[in-house]
Amino acid sequence: MRGTAGKGRGGIRVTKPPSRCRRGRTTERSRPVSGVRRQIAYPGPERAPDATPAREARRDDGLLTVRAAEGDEEAFAVLVREHAPALVGLATRLLGDRAEAEDAVQDAFISAWRRLPEFRRHSSFGTWMYRIVTNRCLNVLRARRPVTSLEAAGEFAAPEHDSPERVTEARDAVRGMRRALDDLSAEQRACWVLRELDGHSYEFIAETVGISQEAVRARVFRARRCLTRALGAWR
């Protein structure tokens, strides 16, 4: 039996799992996944956070997570709709490619559905998903040497100067930045993005990537040095 698909806020298409998993606690092995596969069609930039107070949002997420762990697909669909846009933004910054980012987030939600019965709520659902997506992106980065498009992440578009020579220099700098990022290891790139673009603490990055804080600092330092050299000619 296959579930039905519906389009939620933010362009996220959520396919409901079979009705037999709607009631009762299930194990990871027995939880069907064919019904929760998502087709993510992310239409634009990340939404600004809702005005809902953080404490209330965490409480709602906690209740939805408990219900989803018991097989409530509607609760899980709400979690997907609320968290997918920010997670797609994170994955795009890590991978530099929107299509790969959407695939990574889809895989992460499928993994989360399987693992929800084991979720002990030591952290929020959003933080848990953040780590799952980051580690999924790390696996993607380790598996290939990408030709990325940082313009998809909206971070390094070449400015349009009046001087044609300056425009050429700026575009060369952007290409150099792309090559420099591609030369970073997966962990260096992830640590740099999480620190420099997302502004997370070294402690948070260490827990997310699964290395020590000292290792995070070392990887961020090496990434900064590499990228500074790449931009040296432009500056």
Instruction: List pLDDT tens digits, range 134-172.
Output: 999 999 998 865 444 444 444 445 455 557 777 676 677
Domains of the chain: 5-143 (1.10.1740.10), 156-232 (1.10.10.10)
Tokens found for residue 235: 């500056």
**Sign of the four-CA dihedral 54, 132, 19, 16:** positive
Instruction: List pLDDT tens digits, range 173-210.
Output: 667 777 778 888 999 999 999 999 999 999 999 999 99
Q: Which amino acid is at 216?
A: V
CA separation for the pair 29, 122 (Å, rounded):
22
Scan for tokens 């965490």, then name that residue.
58
Q: Which amino acid is at 3?
A: G
Q: Does 66 score more than 80 pLDDT? A: yes
pTM: 0.69
pLDDT at 168: 72
Higher pLDDT among residues 183 and 78, named by residue: 78
Least confident of 123-127, 129-133, 148-152: 148-152
